[in-house]
Amino acid sequence: METLTKTSRRDFLKLGLTAGGGLVLSFNWSDSLARITHAGDEAAVNVDFNSYLSISPDDVITIFSPNPELGQNIKTSFPMVVAEELDADWKKVNVVQAALDVKKYDRQLTGGSGAVPHSWERLRKAGATARQMLMEAAAKKWNVSASSLTASNGFVIHADGRKLSYGALAADAAGIPVPTEVKLKNPKDFKLIGTAVPNVDNKEMVTGKPLYGLDFYREGMLHAMIQRPPAFGTKIKSVNAAAAKALPGIVDVVTFKNNVAIVGKSTWEIMKARRVLKVEYEKEGNIESTTDHDKLFKELLDKPEATVRRQDGDVVAAFKNAATVIKREYQCPFLSHAPMEPMNFFAHVKADSVELVGPTQTPDRARNATAQLLGISPDKVTVELTRLGGGFGRRLQADYVVEAAELSKLINAPVKVTWSREDDMMGGSYRPAVRYRFEAALDAKGSMTGYKLRGVGINAGNSTREDNFPSGAVDNLLIESIDHQSPITTGAWRAPITNFLAFAEQAFLDEVALAAKKDPVQFRLELLDKAKQSPVGAIRYDIDRTKSVINLVAEKSGWGKKKNLAQGFSVYFSHRSYVAQVAEVEMVSGNPVLKKIYAASDCGIVINLSGARQQVMGGIVDGLGHALYGQVTFKEGAAEQHNFNNYRLIRYNEVPEVEVHFVDNGIDPTGLGEPALPPTGGAVANAIFKATGKRLYNQPFILQEEMKGVKLGLKM
């Protein structure tokens, strides 16, 4: 199945119009010729084949990586795709992080595990087009037909053995009209894709090179930290900055909006000045506490009306006629994103332009928000991307960029704003807290005839995913949500909503399977068969792909065959990928020890095996750690957790063994930055139940009543 794909100017114009709503060209290959740039030295002529690819005469293949890199491996995986179709020598590939450029790239963001499906074909075409042009250039040079040529490892090779390197051909290739059709490889012929390629920034990372936003320093730059209200729902009443201003190294103290910025010459001097800064706050909106939310959740769950997200059949009748009804509730707390690199950004607002440098998942949003705030055109704002020391969704927001720009304008100087860990945890944004009520109706044979879910959340929006499993497999179904608006700011947190919904749902289905006297895996498979034979309403997931990960993880984990181990199962579809997990718990001297987690993932074609395995292992560790320990609670609007001393993150000796498998199906790839996280909490809770008979309904697990007196063992 070789793919012939057309790349005409019209196609790209059309594509740009539909994707961006404005005239956005995805590639500059829509120009009729590739561009030649002189990189300083007159002799060095680099040829830019398109926005992703440039080839130098000395065979350096520069591949530009447009999306922000925060640990999801995109800066390695994406260039691999270009290099594959180009048949480049990976050792000669030099990857460069591209700055924000809305003319060259669309969707230059990291979020929703969406970059891979979005860019897969674009990247392939970028490589394949250049390869074809290089081959045509060689054909012309040797005066032979292009069909007598092959390309391999950075060379065009004639059947008689003659060969020329890409670098030697690049200048000629620049004169070849950009082909309107290119042939993409048959995935069976991939040489680089599917192998384990080490991160392109490994050397820089292990030697401590300046890569991150916080590492950005510039001559004459000032440092700043911002004191934000300590409690949500409060505003500044008065500021007394006299003592702070008098300290050495402090340049200024500036109040704007609800912020008091201390500007100085070094980070530590600012940190010290903050201690003597006196700011009084007063009430501005609702002041909420976690105890209020607990009460509110119960009220909302019993409220007669809610937003109906999906309704199939007749749930009232189904529950009336049920032989068994199971009703359970699950609650998750607020979480901090807590990327290891705290928020920071450099901004320099000049007379007629703005320079922004730092870690952001959405450079375009940062740019537009800054332009809007300053009342200037977005094209006056440049955004340079550093590597991100984690993101987890926190850096999808532009608040910390905009405030840096606002401050730079106020003080008329280049400035880097750094958040302390406490600022990040107490005044940032959180995963919303949510509570769910699930109800299932079983008939006398143990078939699920009715299913109800109501999600209630604090600034969670729609806390359900109404078209996910088991929707489509149940005749009578009702899914509703209610959202409470709160001054506590929330935002997308790695695998938004599903990071908790999956636990609740998969733990619930485990109980339902038990009540139906069915094996939990078999129970899911039967539901999926039913959805396949007689689907009810819209189904967002692929039934066969869901089954394939279930079967793979059951096989690899020896599901149901292990005598001394309690196994817990979970499967979830999110962000277009499928992941099933089995957690194993062993009872050791009367206490459960989490030994191992098996994962089977279907993300289609695996681009970088090393990166993909990392994403699954990291997602599992993240899902486990937060299910066990994570929570931010509020007292009178203020977060009670301030730093890693009381906001517990999972550590080295607390992770079980993890075994990762992928379904090999040749389907176009989808993302993997998020999908491995959602199933973990459910698999672990179900295994703990199997081992101890104790059901976990709320997170964090270790603080629950059910875990009192239970010593959960965790061991690497």
Partner 1 sequence: MAAYSIHVNGETKKIDVASDTPLLWVLRDSLGLVGTKYGCGIAQCGACTVHLNGTAVRSCSLPISAIGASKVTTIEGLSKEGDHPVQQAWQEVDVPQCGYCQAGQIMSAAALLTKNPSPSEDQIATAMNGNICRCGTYHRIKEAVVLASSKMK
Contact present, 660 and 616 (Cβ < 8 Å) = yes
Residue of 71, 114, 333, 656 interacting with ligand FES (CB under 6 A): 71
- The tokens describing 691, both together, are 């081992």
Question: CA 155, CA 175: separation in Å to the nearest integer?
Answer: 18
CA–CA separation, 450 and 441 (whole Å): 5
For residues 391-415, one letter each, b for 16 or more C-beta atoms within 10 angstroms of the residue's C-beta and e for the rest, the string is bbbbbbbbbbbbbbbbbbbbbebbb
CA dihedral 550, 552, 553, 556 (to 10 degrees): 160
203: three-class secondary structure by DSSP: helix
Binding string, 376-405, against ligand FES, x = CB under 6 A?
--------------x---------------
Q: Of 67-96, which residues contact partner 1 (CB under 8 A)?
A: 69-73
By CB under 6 A, is residue 68 in contact with ligand FES?
no
Q: Check residue 646 for interaction with ligand FES (CB under 6 A).
A: no
CA-to-CA dists, residue 558 to 251, 551, 562, 592, angstroms: 65, 10, 7, 20
Residues 591-630 that bind partner 1 (CB under 8 A): 610, 614, 617-622, 625
Least spacing, CB of residue 611 vs ligand FES, in Å: 12
Query: Using CB under 8 A, which of 5, 255, 267, 368 touches partner 1?
Result: 267
3-state DSSP assignment of residue 609: helix
The contacts of residue 702 (CB under 8 Å, 6+ apart) are: 628, 629, 712
Which of 371, 441, 658, 687 forms a contact with partner 1 (CB under 8 A)? 658
Window of 84-92, 161-169, 387-395, 557-565 that interacts with partner 1 by CB under 8 A: 387-395
How many residues sit in the footprint of ligand FES (CB under 6 A)?
3
How far apart are CB 70 and ligand FES at their closest, in Å?
A: 8
Identify which of residues 71 and 229 has a Cβ nearer to ligand FES in the complex.
71
Site string for partner 1, 204-243 (x = CB under 8 A): -xxxxxxxx-xx-x-----x--------------------
**Residue 203, contacted partner among partner 1, ligand FES, none, CB below 5-8 A by kind:** partner 1
Q: Among candidates 541, 534, 614, which has minimal Cα distance to 571? A: 541
Residue 560: other Cβ atoms inside 10 A: 13
Distance in Å, CB of 210 to partner 1, minimum: 5
The single residue among 276, 649, 667, 710 that binds partner 1, judged by CB under 8 A, is: 649
Q: Give the Cβ contact number of residue 65 at 10 Å.
A: 22
272 binds partner 1, rule: CB under 8 A: yes
Residue nearest to ligand FES (CB): 340
Q: What is the DSSP annotation of 296-310?
A: HHHHHHH-S--EEEE
Q: Which is nearer to ligand FES, 4 or 652 (CB)?
A: 652
Q: Where are the alpha helices (DSSP H) in 412-497?
A: 421-427
Q: Which of 341, 466, 505, 584 binds partner 1 (CB under 8 A)?
A: 341
Rounded to a whole number of angstroms, the minimum distance from the CB of residue 204 to ligand FES is 13
420 binds, among partner 1, ligand FES, none (CB under 5 to 8 A by kind): partner 1
Least Å distance, CB 346 to partner 1, is 13
Among partner 1, ligand FES, none, the one that 300 touches (CB under a kind-dependent 5 to 8 A) is: none
Yes or no: say if 611 and 77 are a contact pair by the CB < 8 Å rule: yes
Long-range own/partner contacts, residues 552-557 (CB < 8 A, 24 or more apart): 552/580, 552/600, 552/661, 552/663, 553/580, 553/581, 553/582, 553/598, 553/599, 553/600, 553/661, 554/521, 554/580, 554/582, 556/598, 556/600, 556/659, 556/661, 557/582, 557/584, 557/598
Residue 340 lies near ligand FES (rule: CB under 6 A) = yes
Nearest to 341 by CA among 391, 269, 383: 391
Residue type (1 letter), 630: G
With binding defined as CB under 6 A, does residue 242 bind ligand FES? no
Pick from 402, 406, 423, 404: nearest CA to 415: 404
Helices and strands in the chain, H and E counts:
17, 33
- Span from 141-149, 303-311, 389-397, 428-436 in contact with partner 1 (CB under 8 A): 389-397
Looking at the Cβ atoms of 19 and 340, the one nearer to ligand FES is: 340
**Helix 678-692 crosses helix 498-515 at what angle (to 10 degrees)?**
40
146 forms part of the interface with ligand FES (CB under 6 A): no
* Residue 338 binding target from ligand FES, partner 1, none, CB below 5 to 8 Å by type: partner 1
Out of 43, 590, 653, 708, the residue judged to bind partner 1 by CB under 8 A: 653
The reply to whether 716 sits near partner 1 by the rule CB under 8 A is: yes
Q: How far apart are CA 535 and CA 605, in angstroms?
A: 28
Residues that bind ligand FES (CB under 6 A): 71, 340, 390
Residues that bind partner 1 (CB under 8 A): 69-73, 196, 198-199, 201-203, 205-212, 214-215, 217, 223, 248, 266-269, 271-272, 338-342, 387-392, 418, 420-421, 610, 614, 617-622, 625, 643-645, 649-653, 655, 657-658, 716
